[in-house]
Amino acid sequence: MMVAESPKLIRVLVVDDSSFMRLIVSDILQQDSQIIIVDTAKDGQEAYQKTLMLKPDVIVLDIVMQDYDGLYAVKKIMQEIPTPIIILSSEGNVHPEVVVEALNAGAVSFVNKPRGILQSKIREIEHLLIEKVKIAAQVPSTKLIHSLKSTNNHPHTFDSRTVYEIVVVGASTGGTGAVEHILLNLPNNFPLPILIAQHIPEKFVHSFAQRLDKLVSLHVKVANENEYLEAGIVYIAPCHANTEIKKNLPTEKLSITLTHEQFPQHNYPSIDCLMLSTATVCQHKAIGILLTGMGKDGAKGLVAMHQAGAFTIAQDEKTSIVFGMPKAAIEEGGVSQVLPLNEIAQFVVGCL
């Protein structure tokens, strides 16, 4: 009789400057039979040294630590021994731009650490943290290595007769870096508005937009209620509501509307909400892009866009940090083209 192989243990390094928090987080994670704590570290320097020595499968890392902080650890580890990192830090104790920078430097995900030292508080997020550790453990280190970024500042000659009115993009885990890569490689005279729904905590969305605005040749901003969409501007969907587009008569101009309607896969922002409204309003005059992310948010919306005649793109498995959302859209028949991340911007330009 064949004996089923037991699942491989996930070896985790826990990093926090609080010895109490290291103990609690370790205890939470080890409640799961698939997770083992290989060691703990008190700052970014020790985290880097122990990663070199122990080669953990996943690192759970606080950002705010004395001397060598979490951002130091993320950058140092990704340069020398790429390892999936989950940021576990209190939103109220860390500058949002630092977390956004850590995510762009290669950290896989962020979990908000409840404020306060009560054990019951930190245990509120135990199921989410365990789930994210398991997902991170499946990410190959090769996907964490960021290639050198180059910006396309050169104008492109576009066909003035293009039928397209808008590009909509959905992204989740690993998406901040993917979105940045695409925008860096779009020309500075891109002729359409771009509207992006990125799963990110509400407190970080403005820092995410501001960082992109400084890096790329296009103007990037957080979208506002009833704002008209202008060509060549990148709008980041706010994270306190779901975002839809509408067409204003008689001008036919597209604008933003916010809704608190709930969607099954994810909310604030819901990628399905954005893409379903795009399918209804723009039909064949839109391009939809679904990037890396866990779960199925965006699959239903991309299918609707595809059925309405829009051109739809999914990021391929090889370059996705997590292939959940693109895979779901592909399996449901909602994708016109599957592309690696480094080809998406050029392909979209070619469509115009």
Return the active site residues.
172, 199, 297
- CA 75 → CA 40, 247, 322, distances in Å? 19, 44, 21
Exposed/middle/buried for residue 41 (C-beta within 10 Å: 0-12, 13-18, 19+):
buried
Q: Please state at what angle helix 175-184 crosses helix 96-105, rounded to 10 degrees.
A: 80
> Which tokens sit at 81?
């021994």
Q: What is the distance between the alpha carbons of residues 130 and 30, in angstroms, rounded to a whole number?
A: 9
Q: Which among 188, 166, 220, 217 has a CA at the least distance from the CA of 351?
A: 166
- Give kind and range of the element (H or E) at residue 351: helix 341-351
Look up residue 320 and give its DSSP letter.
-
249 alpha-carbon distance from chain centroid: 34
Contact 125, 111 (CB under 8 A): yes
Question: Residue 218 corresponds to which tokens in the numbers above?
Answer: 């296009």
Token pair in block for residue 112? 């908000």
Q: Is-contact 41 65, C-beta < 8 A?
A: no
* Residue carrying structure tokens 């975002």: 243
- Per the CB < 8 A criterion, the answer to whether 307 and 336 are in contact is no
Please report the sign of the dihedral spanned by the C-alpha atoms of residue 94, residue 91, residue 244, residue 304: positive
- Pull the structure tokens for residue 253: 């101009």
d(CA 9, CA 163): 52
Nearest-angstrom CA–CA distance, 194 and 212? 13
Instruction: Dig out the tokens for 130 from the structure.
Output: 């365990």
